[in-house]
């Protein structure tokens, strides 16, 4: 029932966003993660689709990305400063490194720039700076993962953090620990150097080393789809196939192919396309027409994808929107 209600709410919000884009003149910057990170492909697709509507009526959308995650917080602050210097009217942005981002966002707000959050937030007083939030509750999503594996017999879960210090990823692992502990399972965290985030071989070797070191691990849970590809290789190379189950946050064709083939247990979807599409379009509507949604936040996940519902998810990934 909750899932159906959420689906209806999201469709209604999307319809509202599309129908309201008339004589639009908003100038918006959307700040996002690295183009090297495949997670942001559907994010960009959502921004591009929103930009088509906004720009067809005279508005402007600029998409700004960090080069990588080596200098994440300062790079995000610089992108906010860039947006301010371009005299935008609105900024749509996730809050990944609040200590670096919030002073810059506060400066933007003081200049009259409207802020919309998507993908992740702090869930604290700093979030009051924003009009709304489109995304997932990372603690709830993490707990869903911990519940899923502990409820199906897992005893020791390796939670792989590919960008240590990113608030959304740390919160995911916190949630996994809550769900796992309640179900009688243990969690071990593996923080990886951010510099190897796009290096599949190095990531796989780091996970394999952990599996070989600790033979009691029976689940690897990664926090993005790209890392799960490396984890799948690590499990195979460690000789742990059939013993260690794999789960991940977020979707990709390879993730869903593994689930369909029985080589991966599950994935936790947060629907990033909807996050960026709705955040961008509703920000333009707010700037031009003062429109707001009565619901805050708008949650786009989590949804567990496993063998029971794989086909519909495959269609979404093939189309580039999941």
Return the axis-axis angle of helices 272-289 and 2-20, rounded to nearest 10°.
40
pLDDT for 17: 52
Tell which wins on pLDDT, 276 or 18. Answer: 276
pLDDT tens digits for range 50-96? 999 999 989 999 999 999 999 999 999 999 999 999 999 999 999 99
Nearest Cα neighbor of 265 from 143, 142, 148, 140 is 148
Helix (H) or strand (E) holding 245, with range, is: strand 245-249
- Pairwise CA distance, residues 40 & 252, whole Å: 11
- Pairwise CA distance, residues 110 & 103, whole Å: 11
- Pairwise CA distance, residues 220 & 139, whole Å: 18
Answer yes or no: are the C-beta atoms of 51 and 3 closer than 8 Å.
Answer: no
- Pairwise CA distance, residues 114 & 91, whole Å: 6
Q: Residue with structure tokens 């799960």?
A: 228
What DSSP character marks residue 137? -
pTM, entire model: 0.84
pLDDT tens digits for range 191-231? 999 888 889 999 999 999 999 999 999 999 999 999 999 99
């Amino acid at each position: 029932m909750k899932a159906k209600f959420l689906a209806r709410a999201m469709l209604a919000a999307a319809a509202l966003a599309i129908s309201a884009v008339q004589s639009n003149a908003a100038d918006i910057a959307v700040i996002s993660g690295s183009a090297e990170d495949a997670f942001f492909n559907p994010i960009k697709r959502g921004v591009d689709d929103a930009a088509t509507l906004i720009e067809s009526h005279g508005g402007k959308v600029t998409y700004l990305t960090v080069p990588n995650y080596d200098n994440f917080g300062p790079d995000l602050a610089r992108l906010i400063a860039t947006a301010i210097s371009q005299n935008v009217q609105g900024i749509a942005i996730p809050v990944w490194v609040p200590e670096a981002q919030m002073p810059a966002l506060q400066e933007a707000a003081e200049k009259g720039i409207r802020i919309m959050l998507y993908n992740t937030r702090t869930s604290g007083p700093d979030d009051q700076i924003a009009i709304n939030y489109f995304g997932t509750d990372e603690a709830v999503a993490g707990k869903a993962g911990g519940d899923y594996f502990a409820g199906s017999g897992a005893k020791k879960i390796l939670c792989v953090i590919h960008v240590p210090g990113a608030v959304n990823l740390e919160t995911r692992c916190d949630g996994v620990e809550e769900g796992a502990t309640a179900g009688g399972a243990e969690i071990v965290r593996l923080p990886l150097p951010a510099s190897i985030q796009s290096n599949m071989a190095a990531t796989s070797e780091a996970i394999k080393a952990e599996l070989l070191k600790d033979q009691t691990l029976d689940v690897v849970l990664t926090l993005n789809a790209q890392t799960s590809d490396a984890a799948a290789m690590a499990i195979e190379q460690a000789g742990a196939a059939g013993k260690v189950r794999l789960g991940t946050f977020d979707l990709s064709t390879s993730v869903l192919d593994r689930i369909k083939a029985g080589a991966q247990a599950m994935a936790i979807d947060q629907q990033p396309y909807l996050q960026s599409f709705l955040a961008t379009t509703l920000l333009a509507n707010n700037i031009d027409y003062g429109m707001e949604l009565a619901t805050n936040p708008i949650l786009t996940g989590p949804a567990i994808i496993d063998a029971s519902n794989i086909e519909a998810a495959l269609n979404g990934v093939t189309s580039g929107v999941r």
